[in-house]
Amino acid sequence: MTRRVAVVAGGHAKFGKRYDATMRELCAEAYKPIYDEGITQDKIDASVLSYAASQFTGQGAGSALIADYLGLADKPHLRVESACTTGTASLRAAWGMVASGLYDVMLVLGVEQMNRVSSARATELMAQAGDMRWEYPFGISFPAFYALMASRYMHEYNLPHEVLSMIAVKSHHYGAQNPKAHLPREVSLEEANNAVPICRPLNLYDCSLITDGAAAVVIAAEDRVKEFTDEPMWIKGIGAGASEMMIQDRSSLTSIPGAKRAAKAAYKMAGLEPKDIDMAEVHDCFTIAELIAYEDLGFAEPGKGREIVENKENYHDGRIPVNVDGGLKSKGHPLGATGVSMTYEILNQMRGTAQNPSRQIDDVQYGLAHNVGQSGQFVNIFIFERGW
């Protein structure tokens, strides 16, 4: 029989081009708020490091390095890697260990330092997550994968690019209010819609950022929660899914099949439906990915996600607020930190501590994190419940 598990604390480093800090210093920056709350090293049984790609820094054995630097060298630790879903994969692994009784209290810490290489090199390294025989040699990078999805979606549903630009405007509106964001600035619809092309039909403001950063959460078993907080966030539902490696093998490019399967599993475990969700953090690596997520998660019917955008239902005071921290588009996307950062944001929204009242969502009871790796080969979805 599994035990209930809650998120009891979180911390977050500033996202951006962090030339001022090393990987270990970013992790310390994320852990410090947790330490300051009194969750010191002696209270942590084990840790999981979410660290997706050592190629950016050349640093192997990341969990040993970080555990040593944070004063956890005598505690069990491991590294998890699952492309862009590494953060939620790490949280899922830690949840399993705590739920099973192996440990009571665990630190999950996500980090990536992507700007130690050039943007061109970073794009190349990420492209190597595609099929190295039939995709990478032909120059297909991740902007190209999502451009294919965008092109197909725009064709099937007669979608103008302006709808994608409206998503970018929303992301930057909230990123401008988030002190942790990589690119905290507003953009106009005209600026977003007419930006320089990256891979048509996607332009500069359709694409997420190459970011350095770290985020951390602590989870605890139900009988230990009250030692740490009166405001726990329970892990209520978890779903994982996968899609075909090469997108040419998929039956549709207007949906991510692994996300639909993960959502179904998470809703079933939580005993909830899409209409019950009060807010969502979705994996907007590209604006088209956010639009598709609305439909894969059941917030809109296929082809109808644009109505959420056009009616501003995705704003903090709308029907289903999405990425009101700026998302990957404005807050940034340090691969290993992203899923942990999503969890941190939902915790703050539930506690009413979203750093800026103008992006605070009222009365969040259930929050959903949707984390996609590559072009959908990995998907993790978490549903969280406010515990007070």
pLDDT digits (tens, 9 = 90+) for 227-272: 999 999 999 999 999 999 998 899 999 999 999 999 999 999 999 9
Whether 141 maps to a domain, the answer reads: no
Question: Rounded to whole angstroms, what are the CA distances from 284 to 117, 158, 223, 292, 330?
Answer: 23, 21, 36, 9, 10
84 is catalytic: yes
Is 22 inside a domain boundary? yes
Residue 338's alpha-carbon distances to 352, 365, 370, 372, in angstroms, are 21, 22, 10, 10
Q: What is the pLDDT of residue 79?
A: 97
Catalytic residue among 27, 84, 199, 207: 84
Dist. CA 49–CA 62, nearest whole Å: 7
Using one digit for the tens of pLDDT, what is the confidence trace for 74-102?
Answer: 999 999 999 999 999 999 999 999 999 99
Residue 200 included in any domain: no
Cα separation values, 383 from 208, 278, 328, Å:
24, 11, 19
Q: Which of 331, 335, 252 shows the shortest CA–CA distance to 295?
A: 252
Amino acid at 34: I
Has 199 been annotated as catalytic? no
- The CATH number of the domain holding residue 69 is 3.40.47.10
Residue 219 belongs to a domain: yes
Considering the domain boundaries, does residue 93 fall inside one? yes
> Could you give the percent of the chain with pLDDT greater than 90?
94
Average pLDDT over residues 116-126: 92
**Domain with 64 in it:** 5-118+210-227
pTM above 0.85, yes or no: yes
Total domains, the chain: 1
| 18 occurs within a structural domain | yes
Query: What's phi and psi for 380, nearest 5 deg?
Result: -125, 135
CA distance 8 to 28: 18
* pLDDT value of position 21: 98
Q: Residue 98 falls within a domain, yes or no?
A: yes
d(Cα 382, Cα 7) in Å, to the nearest integer? 12
In whole angstroms, give the CA distance from residue 142 to residue 27: 27
In a domain, 352, yes or no: no
- What's the pLDDT at 1? 66
How would residue 291 be classed by pLDDT, with cut points 50, 70 and 90? Answer: very high
Q: Note the pLDDT tens digit of each residue in 173-216.
A: 999 999 999 999 999 999 999 999 999 999 999 999 999 999 99
Candidate list 161, 173, 283, 333, residue with the active-site label: 333
pLDDT band, residue 385 (cuts 50/70/90): very high
